[in-house]
Structure formats: structure tokens, C-alpha cells
Amino acid sequence: MGNNIIIRNMNKFYGKKQALFDIDLTIEQGMFGLLGRNGAGKTTLMKTLAALHRKKDGEVIICGIPVEKAKKIRSMTGYLPQDFSMYPNMRTDEALDYLGALSGIPSKERKQRVESLLKKVNLTEHRRKKVKELSGGMKRRLGIAQALLHDPKVIIVDEPTAGLDPEERIRFRNLLCEVAENRIVILSTHIVGDVESTCENIAIMDEGRILWKGTVRELLENARGHIYTANIEKQYMSQIKKEYIVTGMVTQADYTTVRLVSDAEPDLPNAVLTEPDLEGAYMYCLHSNGCNVKGGEE
């Protein structure tokens, strides 16, 4: 039984509307990042892998098991949904215990796992709080804890850091990296920073299609020669935003240092070719695949 996820020519429809087009991916052990804009189809893909949605055709094999065998798939995948929530009046430890029971974990083992997971996600002192009393960050930590309960081989996290403060975000990423040892962790996000700090392999999606797949290094290499910095006077900023894809801005006293994506050298007096960062490389990838990118445009 392979320890990977194989997706071949997968299509998914919502009624007559096609949501996923010919998805082709192989995901190996470790952290895998799925980047894409809102509405790219990431959540649809995640839910299909978690056996919550049915594909129209194609092949999806998770650690040797076809996704049609939903029960087996669910016993080896942990899923943290985008809008994770639990019954509001359950205590935190009760909620984990209940979900552990749903995962078929025997009572004694469940108790131990709940204890250790609460400790791992730093929720021990909040264990007796009701779910509705938890902050957003605590809820997410509870979410990852429940995804780990049954020691799954595959963990699917859908936009886990949206709405978290920087400290919480860093903590969450570190936690994911920890759990990615000996597992497949798929991180679906539109926040490039999440992927940058945790994933070696990524795929980029847009409008239901895989635009690009490979390593982070390869994505950066792809964008080499297309990322520039320039100092622009403030009165020209709006014009620059219209003409170029601006991926970063640092405002100085009289001017703004911009980071922009361009196919060829920009027609700007002080534009300097720069080492690509992941955000710029991502934007370049979208742009070079014909996506309508509006980085920084007002």
C-alpha cells in the first residue's frame, strides 16, 4: 500500500456546473501546499479527498485505497474543515471524546489520546470550557486536535489560519510541521506565507484547474527574471498599479519601494531585478497562465 495520494483526471460537478477539471496530482509524504484564490476549487478538492463529495469521474487513490471506499478513507484521514465548528454546549474535552468515539477509538485509548492532544495543542487549561466560549484560535487548535485523534495517515486542513493573529498562525504552522512527520498533510490556503514556511511541494489552482505543480524551489526558479523592485514617487503610484502587478509596497518618506511582477524589464528608471519571493512567484504563475491578476490595483 503506497503512502501517497494519486489523483488522475478527476472531474467534479455541482449539478451541471463543473467545479474541478481534469485534476492530476500525486502527493507524497510530508507537507503539501495547495495554493489558490478564493473560488479556485480548493475546498471542493479537499472535500472530495475527505470523501465528503463524490467525484464525477477519474481516479483518486489514497494510500492505496480508492476514495469510493468512504469508510476506510475516513478511518485514515483527518479533516479540518474551513468552517470548523462543534456542538456549542459541549465542553472541549467532551467534544474531543465524542469525536473520538465517532472515530471508533476504544474508551481507554480515547481518554489517553484526548489528554495528550489537549496538551499538544495547548488547550489543557481550557478543557472544561464550552466550545462556544473558545476564541477563534482555540477553536482552530481544537480542530486540529480532532483531526489527529485517530492517528490518521493523511491530514487535510482547509484554510486553517484564516482569521488567526500572527502568533497563533506561527504556532499553528509549527504544529502542522510537527505532525507532518510520517504523514501526508495537505494544507489548502490562499495565504502564501503559510505555504512558504511549511511546504516543500505545492500546487496552484485556479478556476477548478491545476495551473502548476512542483516544488517551492521550482516555482521560485520559474519566476526568476520576472520580479523587480523599483522606487516610485508617490504621485505615480496609481499609474504603476494599473500597468504592473504589484506584489509588495514599502512606503518611505518621499517614495514607495514597490515589488512588481513583469514579463520583461519594466520601463522604469530604477527598476532592479530581484530574487523572487514565493508571493511574487505565485502571482507570476497566475499571470503567466492567463489569470486576470490585479495585484495592488485600485
Partner 1 sequence: MTSGCLARMVSSDVKHNFLIHYLAAAAVLLITPVIFGLAELDRSMAALPLETMPPLMGLILLTPLFSPEQNEGILDTVRSKKTSRQLVIGMRVLCALAVLAILIAALGGYMKYNSCEVTLGMCAGAFAGAAALGALGFFSSALTDNVIVGYMVSVMYFFMDLFLKNKLGRFCLMSMSCNIKGSKPVLAVTAVVLIAAAMLFRRVFRNEQ
216 belongs to the binding site for partner 1 (CB under 8 A): no
Which stretch, 91-99, 113-121, 259-267, 283-291, contacts partner 1 (CB under 8 A)?
91-99
User: How far, in whole angstroms, is CA 138 from its chain's centroid?
Assistant: 19
Distance in Å, CB of 77 to partner 1, minimum: 7
* Burial class of residue 166 in the structure, from the number of CB atoms within 10 Å of its CB (0-12 exposed, 13-18 middle, 19+ buried): exposed
- The pair phi, psi for residue 284, each rounded to 5°, is -65, -40
Q: Is 146 in the site for partner 1 (CB under 8 A)?
A: yes
* Binder among 3, 18, 26, 75 for partner 1 (CB under 8 A): 75
Query: How many residues lie near partner 1 (CB under 8 A)?
Result: 37
Which residues, in sequence order, are bridge partners of residue 249?
A: 258
The answer to the question of residue 104 lying near partner 1 (CB under 8 A) is yes
Q: Does 79 bind partner 1 (CB under 8 A)?
A: yes
Q: Which stretch binds partner 1 (CB under 8 A): 13-21, 28-36, 74-82, 279-287?
A: 74-82
- Residue from 81, 137, 276, 295 binding partner 1 (CB under 8 A): 81
Position 52 contacts partner 1 (CB under 8 A):
yes
Angle among Cα 254, 257, 260 to the nearest 5 degrees reads 145
- Report the alpha-carbon angle 107-111-112, nearest 5: 120
Stretch that binds partner 1, among 21-29, 49-57, 112-120, 268-276 (CB under 8 A): 49-57
Which residue, 150 or 226, has its beta carbon nearer to partner 1?
Answer: 150
Rounded to whole angstroms, the Cα distance separating 51 from 168 reads 29
Per CB under 8 A, 162 contacts partner 1: no
Q: Does 150 bind partner 1 (CB under 8 A)?
A: yes
- DSSP class of residue 91 equals B
Task: Give the residue carrying C-alpha cell 506584489.
Answer: 247
Which of 9, 85, 112, 289 forms a contact with partner 1 (CB under 8 A)?
85
| Residues 47, 48, 51: CA angle, nearest 5 degrees | 90
Nearest Cα neighbor of 262 from 236, 217, 224 is 224
3-state secondary structure labels for all residues of 160-174: CCCCCCHHHHHHHHH
**Residues at the contact surface with partner 1, assessed by CB under 8 A:** 47, 50-54, 70-71, 74-75, 77-79, 81-87, 89-90, 94, 97-99, 101-107, 110, 143, 146, 150
